Amino acid sequence: SRAAMVLGRHCGNLTALLSAHQSIGVPQPLVVFGTDAQKEKFLPRCAKGEISAFALTEPEVGSDPAKMMTTARLSEDGSEYIINGLKLWCTNGVKAGVIVVMAKMPDSTPGRPKISAFIVEMDTPGVEVTHRCHFMGLKALYNGVVKFTDARVPKENLILEEGRGLKVALTTLNTGRITLPAACVGLAKQCLEWSTTWAKNRIQWGQAIGKHDAIAQKLAKMAGETFAIEAMVLYTSALVDRDKKNDIRIEAAFAKMWGTERGWDIVNETMQIRGGRGYETAPSLEARGEEGIPVERMLRDSRINTIFEGSSEIMRLMIAREALDPHLKLGGPVLNTTLPMKVRAKAALKSGLTYAWWYPSLWIPAFTAGTSKVDPAFRSDLRKMRNLSKKLARKLFHAMLRHGPKLDKKQVLLGRFVDIGAELFAQTSSIALASHRLSVGKAEDADPLRETVSYFCRLSRCKAEVLLREVGRNADGAGYQLSRKLIGE
């Protein structure tokens, strides 16, 4: 993560190359799931500079692996797997020497493919890069289409075991998801530096533009959110550092979703603050005697971050389902009319006993007990955050009662709940990191740090309160009906 933070200040292309290689390419899956023989064979090659890649996406497969068409079947003598298919947007695929490929097994059932992960060397006969992809940004990205035609892969190159490929993919994608917001930290810090320098030196209407409220508010928001992204990344990374097999799905998804969206906001605001000089290319600025600050390149290169490694929409759905799952397991049978009445009655009794104490507890105000390690300046913020989390739980519970099993289809509504959760996570991480730094840092840095984090927590609470109000008052229904007409339904 720290390497990505450094690279994010300078070059999105190099950041993407490192991220695809180190976090979702060959090294990470082998460190976590590889056999000793696989590690011995491939990790030294990666350590010496050989580039690796990850091949999952296909022309018809984005976030839905059930549509995967690439297949792998065992050869008649049982010594090799024979892979056929086409993989799209394989980052590093154009340059890689070895890649991880996801493929469907022959004994897959409809709608529930049995997917396996394989280590494939790019010089294997039948493996071919058919096209190098080019994009709006990241002009130096080594991204391409990889075709497999009866490519024979040794049986020992299977990672984990047959049918466990999605476990490999999801585990390694978690690490990749941390790398993206980590890069956004570097990008945000660079943008904040450019923006504050310009806001201080650019004079309009008799004073620096940074003293005008419209620009001043942008700078404050950028500073607060930059610190929060860094806090979320460092916290989530620490969980992995403690144990490579830690389940960080939720933390990584929150950091990826919130961090990349705020990173985009920050670079977009930098463009707005720099104005025409933000839109003009760095070579053009230099050619006419000004400093060549590449804001427009940063903007183009960073736009993909909310799409890479799972789009923001997919992250929201994933987090929402994780949040709902315990409740659905507990109360779902009660609403399932296909189950016998005896089973439903038993489930109703169990859920009733659980919610009889859980729901009333959500109305009890939170206090600041057990916060001895939190800096005193943030204890009020922490208390407000706890009350907000209780309000979020109540609202989600009410939505479950109102919509029942159909809540899963209310994606925008669920997205609001997730966004509130993300704000809470951002506040928690910020307070934790700030409290740690205040306990070990220099006294002269204390007041600016406290001011930044306190401001961010207040800003974040305001946003969460707006989202809570929108849970009950919104235009979702009308919007969905209009969209159906737009697509001709």
Q: Are residues 342 and 471 in the same domain?
A: yes
**Tokens, residue 456:** 């961010």
Per-residue pLDDT of 390-399, as tens digits, reads: 889 889 888 8
Share of the chain above pLDDT 70, in %: 90
Residues 6+ apart with CB under 8 A from 10: 186, 190
CATH of the domain at 19: 2.40.110.10
Q: Are residues 235 and 273 in the same domain?
A: yes
Q: Are residues 154 and 179 in the same domain?
A: no
Per-residue pLDDT of 401-437, as tens digits, reads: 788 778 889 999 999 999 999 999 999 999 999 999 9
- Confirm whether 2 is domain-assigned: no
Rounded distance between C-alpha atoms, residue 443 and residue 461, angstroms: 28
- Confirm whether 5 is domain-assigned: no
Q: Are residues 396 and 367 in the same domain?
A: yes
Per-residue pLDDT of 252-302, as tens digits, reads: 999 999 999 999 999 999 999 999 999 999 999 999 999 999 999 999 999
Domain that holds residue 84: 15-165
**Structural domain count of the chain:** 3
* Position 142, amino acid: Y
- Confirm whether 320 is domain-assigned: no
- Residue 401 pLDDT: 79
Q: Are residues 285 and 271 in the same domain?
A: yes
Q: Are residues 373 and 434 in the same domain?
A: yes
CATH of the domain at 246: 1.20.140.10
Q: Are residues 198 and 142 in the same domain?
A: no
Residue where a domain terminates, one of 149, 165, 181: 165
Partner residues linked to 115 by β-bridges: 104
Q: Are residues 143 and 242 in the same domain?
A: no
> How far out from the chain centre does Cα 356 lie?
35
Q: Which of 28-37, 142-151, 399-408 is the least confident region?
A: 399-408
- Confirm whether 434 is domain-assigned: yes
Active site residues: 309
- Structure-model confidence comparison of residues 310 and 223, the more confident one: 223
- Confirm whether 318 is domain-assigned: no
- Confirm whether 286 is domain-assigned: yes
- Confirm whether 254 is domain-assigned: yes
- Confirm whether 24 is domain-assigned: yes
Rounded distance between C-alpha atoms, residue 397 and residue 402, angstroms: 9
Q: Are residues 32 and 103 in the same domain?
A: yes
Rounded distance between C-alpha atoms, residue 18 and residue 186, angstroms: 15
Residue where a domain terminates, one of 282, 312, 342: 312
Question: What is the number of other CB atoms lying within 10 angstroms of the CB of residue 93?
Answer: 27
Give me the half-sphere count of Cα atoms (radius 13 Å) on the Cβ side of residue 147. 7
Per-residue pLDDT of 312-361, as tens digits, reads: 999 999 999 887 776 556 555 555 666 676 665 665 556 555 545 445 55
Q: Are residues 104 and 136 in the same domain?
A: yes
Q: Are residues 155 and 205 in the same domain?
A: no
Per-residue pLDDT of 157-215, as tens digits, reads: 999 999 999 999 888 888 778 999 999 999 999 999 999 999 999 999 999 999 999 99
* CB 302 within 8 Å of CB 187: yes
Rounded distance between C-alpha atoms, residue 85 and residue 169, angstroms: 18
Q: Are residues 158 and 187 in the same domain?
A: no
Rounded to two decimals, what is the model's pTM? 0.90
For residue 155, pLDDT beyond 60: yes
The mean predicted confidence, pLDDT, of the chain is 90
Residue where a domain terminates, one of 267, 288, 312: 312
